[in-house]
Structure formats: structure tokens, C-alpha cells
């Protein structure tokens, strides 16, 4: 199959929407990462996503909508706090998990009785959903286990020949996936995946959100799998311990390995003449740049990527989670 890349003109969006309506799968930009979309109400189309990504079929997909009116169509009930999240933060980089209605196929939810719903703030994404006339389920548009794609080129590198179309909306603004929160547990709201919307912001609207740290069980089915891994070995250094990064860099380099350091701009000069890739000025920038840097390590055939940690507040929690997965837990 030839994979075409389309600019997001009205005409091209209408064409790509018609592909989705016909049961094809199309990669499209959102403000978080690129998604690989199918008609969420058509099991045969949904199966194509799992095949193209090589994704385990027990890992459920997020259903993307263009207007909050579509929530009642998908969810059996919407608790008061979920309504407030919808009111204040949607569209935006947040996903809510609610009890599902019959109409949502098991292929989308991995057999769960709940459905994850998100309204992207990307206008290209919302227009595509609107024009296709159906909710669009979409995982990140990468090959399973690889870093999520934040440009059309990343998608092409992974899925060329496996999908019909990629809509090129440029670089994603946020850079990590949406924050996923669950409203299905009795009496509490739980964080299932940290991401592009800080939980402090969500808590300012709905009160405490339970964060289960170091849980042995993956709350979000997808989080139990190997994830975000480039070919290079990734190591994580504790916050502020740049001397550990320097020691590791020198050790690997002396052993003939190509090592690179990922660091915040404020720490740049600590590393002297060593190779440093900028994560940006703060954890929000780090979130924006992280996946692209991991993919760059493949393009430039690095053997080792030594990453600074950030504190786990605000945007940092999502960054730390992705770094933990990409490194497979290897710390310096
Ligand atoms: O920002 C995003 O969320 C991106 C863009 C494309 O919208 N999508 C994304 O999809 O990250 P994916 O499939 O890579 O991650 C979805 C996560 C998985 O960890 C999955 O297990 C979880 O959401 N999930 C989906 N439905 C769920 C459900 N009903 N209950 C619990 N977790 C669910
Ligand atoms: Mg993903």
C-alpha cells in the first residue's frame, strides 16, 4: 500500500474523512501526539489499527470526539465531576474514562465495560472527526513499543506502506499523550496516565485525584507494555545529579560508544564540551521535545542516551513517566 502525506486543506480533510467513513485508517495530528484513526463504531476498521501498529488487542483505544454532545452517545453515565472536566478542560489534552454504552464495540475497549473519551484541541483533528461523521478511535500513530510520533515524518518512518494516508499538521504542540483520568471507581477519581495536562490543574476544578505511585498493576492496560523505546539504551539520572551523567558519559565514550546527554538549558554548561541535546528550558518544553529526541537518537545512531530527570509536579509527572518507560527503569 502506498502511504500518501496530505496537507490539511479543506479538500484533503474531506478526502481523508471519506477514507475513515469507508473503513480505512488515517494518521492525523492532535495537540498531544499523532493518532492513527478509524471509525470507532466499526469493528473491522478498528482491527486494522492493531494490525498496522502491531499492538496487543487487549490494549484499549481512546475515542476522539468533535463536540461534547457526542459523550452521551458513547457513555452510559457521566458523573458530576466528569461534567466539570468536560466544561472546563475540553477540548484539551485530557481523556476521561466512563462506563460505556452498548454501541461502543469490544474491539475498541479491549473487552472493558468502560470507554476512554477525548476531545482534541487540534482543529485539524476536530474537523476530521466532524467530516467523517463518526467518533474516531485512535492510539498514538507509532509502531508498538516505539516513541510516540510528534511529526508526520515520525509516523511515516514507522508506518509507511501500512496505512493509506497521513495528514501533516506540523509539530504537535504538547508532545506527550493526554492525561487519562478514570471516573469509574466508586467515590474517587483516579489518575490512570500522567500526560499533557497537569493533574494540579484538574484538581483545581474537581478536588483530589488519586495517584497510585509505583503500582505493580498497570491501571491503564496500555501502560504494562514496553513503551517509548528507541534503539539506544536510555539511562535516567536523579534530579540535580549531573555528576552521575558526566561519569557515565565519559565511561561509555571511553569504551567507544556514542553517548548523548539530554539536559535542560539551565544545566547546559555543567557538561562542558560533551554532546548535549536541549530538552528546553523547563519540564513543559521537555514534554514537547522528549519523543523527538528519542527518535533523533535512532536517526543519529547513538548507543546511549543519558537523560536528566525533572521534578514530578506539573508537566514533570508525564515526562518522568515516559522517561521511566523509555529507560526500562535504568537509573544512574
Ligand atoms: O494524547 C493521546 O491520548 C493520544 C492521541 C492520539 O489522542 N492517544 C494515545 O492513545 O495516547 P494510546 O492508545 O497510545 O494510549 C491510550 C491509553 C492506553 O494506555 C490505554 O490502555 C488507555 O489509554 N485506555 C484506553 N481506554 C481505556 C479504558 N477504557 N480504561 C482504562 N484505560 C484505557
Ligand atoms: Mg501509545
Q: Please list the pLDDT of the chain residue by residue as tens digits (332 residues).
A: 899 999 999 999 999 999 999 999 999 999 999 999 999 999 999 999 999 998 887 889 999 999 999 999 999 999 999 999 999 999 999 999 999 999 999 999 999 999 999 999 999 999 999 999 999 999 999 998 899 999 999 999 999 999 999 999 999 999 999 999 999 988 899 999 999 999 999 999 999 999 976 554 566 666 666 688 899 999 999 999 999 999 999 999 999 999 999 999 999 999 999 999 999 999 999 999 999 999 999 999 999 999 999 998 999 999 999 999 999 999 99
Q: Which residues are near ligand 1 (CB < 6 Å)?
A: 30, 32-33, 35, 59-62, 95, 97, 109, 112, 114-116, 118, 138-140, 177-178, 180, 192-193, 220-223
Span 104-120, pLDDT tens digits: 999 999 999 999 999 99
How many CB atoms within 10 Å of residue 189?
A: 23
What's the gap in Å between 307 CA and the centre of ligand 2?
A: 21
Measured by CA distance, the residue closest to atom 21 of ligand 1 is 222
Q: How many residues does the chain have?
A: 332
In sequence order, which residues have a C-beta less than 8 Å from that of residue 243 and are 6 or more positions away? none
CA–CA gap between residue 276 and residue 297 (Å, rounded):
12
- CB-based contact 167:27 (threshold 8 Å): yes
In angstroms, how far is CA 12 from the centroid of its own chain? Answer: 25
- Per residue in 175-200, pLDDT tens? 999 999 999 988 899 999 999 999 99
Q: At 194, give phi and psi (nearest 5°).
A: -70, 150
For residue 203, report the distance from its CA to the centre of ligand 1, in Å: 20
Question: DSSP per residue over 249-310, as a string?
Answer: HHHHHHTT--EEEEEEGGGGGGGTTS-EEEEESSHHHHHHHHHHHHHHHHHTT-SEEEEE--
Task: Provide the 8-state DSSP code for 109.
Answer: H
Amino acid at each position: 500500500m502506498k502511504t500518501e502525506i496530505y496537507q490539511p486543506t479543506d479538500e484533503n480533510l474531506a478526502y481523508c474523512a471519506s477514507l475513515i467513513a469507508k473503513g480505512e485508517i488515517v494518521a492525523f495530528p492532535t495537540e498531544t501526539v499523532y493518532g492513527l484513526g478509524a471509525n470507532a463504531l466499526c469493528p473491522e476498521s478498528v482491527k486494522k489499527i492493531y494490525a498496522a501498529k502491531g499492538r496487543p488487542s487487549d490494549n484499549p483505544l481512546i475515542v476522539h470526539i468533535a463536540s461534547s454532545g457526542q459523550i452521551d452517545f458513547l457513555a452510559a453515565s457521566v458523573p458530576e465531576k466528569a461534567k466539570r472536566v468536560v466544561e472546563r478542560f475540553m477540548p484539551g489534552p485530557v481523556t476521561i474514562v466512563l462506563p460505556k454504552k452498548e454501541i461502543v464495540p469490544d474491539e475498541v475497549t479491549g473487552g472493558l465495560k468502560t470507554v476512554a473519551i477525548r476531545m482534541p484541541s487540534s482543529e485539524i483533528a476536530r474537523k476530521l472527526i466532524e467530516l467523517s461523521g463518526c467518533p474516531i478511535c485512535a492510539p498514538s500513530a507509532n509502531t508498538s513499543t516505539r516513541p510516540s510520533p510528534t511529526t508526520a515524518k515520525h509516523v511515516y518512518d514507522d508506518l509507511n506502506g501500512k496505512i493509506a494516508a497521513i495528514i501533516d499538521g506540523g509539530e504537535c504542540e504538547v508532545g506527550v499523550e493526554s492525561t487519562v483520568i478514570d471516573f469509574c471507581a466508586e467515590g474517587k477519581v483516579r489518575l490512570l496516565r500522567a500526560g499533557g495536562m497537569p493533574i494540579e490543574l484538574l484538581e483545581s476544578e474537581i478536588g483530589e485525584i488519586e495517584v497510585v505511585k509505583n503500582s505493580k498493576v498497570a491501571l491503564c492496560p496500555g501502560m504494562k507494555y514496553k513503551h517509548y523505546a528507541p534503539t539506544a539504551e536510555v539511562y535516567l539520572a536523579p534530579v540535580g545529579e549531573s555528576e552521575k551523567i558526566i561519569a557515565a558519559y565519559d565511561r561509555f565514550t571511553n569504551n567507544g560508544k556514542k553517548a548523548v546527554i539530554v539536559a535542560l538549558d539551565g544545566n547546559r554548561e555543567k557538561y562542558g564540551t560533551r554532546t548535549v541535546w536541549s530538552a528546553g528550558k523547563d519540564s513543559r518544553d521537555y514534554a514537547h521535545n522528549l519523543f523527538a529526541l528519542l527518535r533523533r537518537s535512532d536517526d543519529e545512531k547513538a548507543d546511549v542516551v543519558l537523560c536528566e530527570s525533572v521534578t514530578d509536579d506539573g508537566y514533570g509527572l508525564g515526562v518522568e513517566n515516559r522517561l521511566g518507560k523509555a529507560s526500562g527503569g535504568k537509573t544512574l
